[in-house]
Amino acid sequence: MTIIAQLTDLHIREPQKLAYGRLDTSPYLRTCVESVLALRQRPDAVVLTGDLTDFGRPAEYAHLRALLAPLDMPVYFLPGNHDDRQNLRAAFPEHDYMQNGEFIQYAVDIGELRLVALDTVIPQQSGGELCKARLQWLQKTLEASEGQPVVIAMHHPPFRTLIGHMDKIGLQTGANELEGIVSQYKNIERIICGHLHRVIDVRFGGTIASTAPAPAHQVTLDLDDNAESTWMLEPPGFRLHAWDAQNRVLVSHLAASGKFEGPYLFHEDGVLID
């Protein structure tokens, strides 16, 4: 079994600085890292699907590096619209996979899985795009990954979420072209995305595209086209994507971030209850 933990939308600021003037995201990420490390089956790798920091500043990335330091498995980064590619690269120079080229795009093997990371960032803009160059790179990478189960990771989801204010800053171009490419490859098990601070699953290009919760704040669940842009402190979490080699399928779980009572056996008066 190969397990990838997906964390997203961390929005880390400098120490003691508050996001939106009221939220310290740092202790939430610290708790999330502890929750990943507390899993009985440790993930083989962690992928962070963007908005790692709030403003893309060097001091924010330095703080992020310290918060992620306890993770003892490989960590893979993707930028989001709140990130700065140059500052991200400078903060993690040992991460060779993201040091070359205009975009932070790469393909790595994690156990039996092939992680293909797509960069959707438009600098200084909230929305994203997949331009011709990025899509051509994806096509070539997928051609070279034939026979391997593939997980595509990206920040902006390529589908409408029906949360109006987020769809307005979603993937602006390239979604239809991406779906056409994805539909050609039956070995794409999942497209995992960030940006939404919520769990959303959609059928896309013959596979499943999904988003993940944030370690701290979530986007308010409001499907009104004119809903205000708001966030809530709903329960934080992350996702686990586990490759079942026996049945050759990817199984995705929602994991809660934090400490909770249990585990307890299912029994009553000493009698096991299934």
Which helix (H) or strand (E) is 75 found in, with range?
strand 75-78
- CA angle, 71 as apex, 67 and 75 as ends, to 5°? 95
Q: What is the pLDDT of residue 73?
A: 97
Nearest of 207, 175, 105, 187 to residue 144 by alpha carbon: 187
Per-residue model confidence as pLDDT tens for the chain (274 residues): 999 999 999 999 999 999 999 999 999 999 999 999 999 999 999 999 999 999 999 999 999 999 999 999 999 999 999 999 999 999 999 999 999 899 999 999 999 999 999 999 999 999 999 999 999 999 999 999 988 999 999 999 999 999 999 999 999 999 999 999 999 999 999 999 999 999 999 999 999 999 999 999 999 999 988 889 999 999 999 999 999 999 999 999 999 999 999 888 887 766 666 6
The confidence score (pLDDT) of residue 266 equals 85
What is residue 137's predicted lDDT score, i.e. its pLDDT? 97
What is the spatial distance between Cα 153 and Cα 190, in angstroms, rounded to a whole number? 8
Q: How much is the pLDDT for 202?
A: 97
3-state SS track over 214-268: CCCCEECCCCCCCCCCCEECCCCEEEEEEEECCCCEEEEEEEECCCCCCCCCCEE
Kindly state the tokens that stand for 30.
């610290």
Asked if residue 96 lies in contact with residue 138, where contact means CB atoms within 8 angstroms, the answer is: no
Helix axes 175-182, 132-143, angle to 10 degrees: 10
Predicted model pTM: 0.95
Looking at residue 274, its pLDDT comes to 64
Eight-state DSSP code of residue 53? B
Q: Is 99 helix (H, G, I), strand (E, B) or coil?
A: coil
**CA 214 – CA 226 distance, rounded (Å):** 23
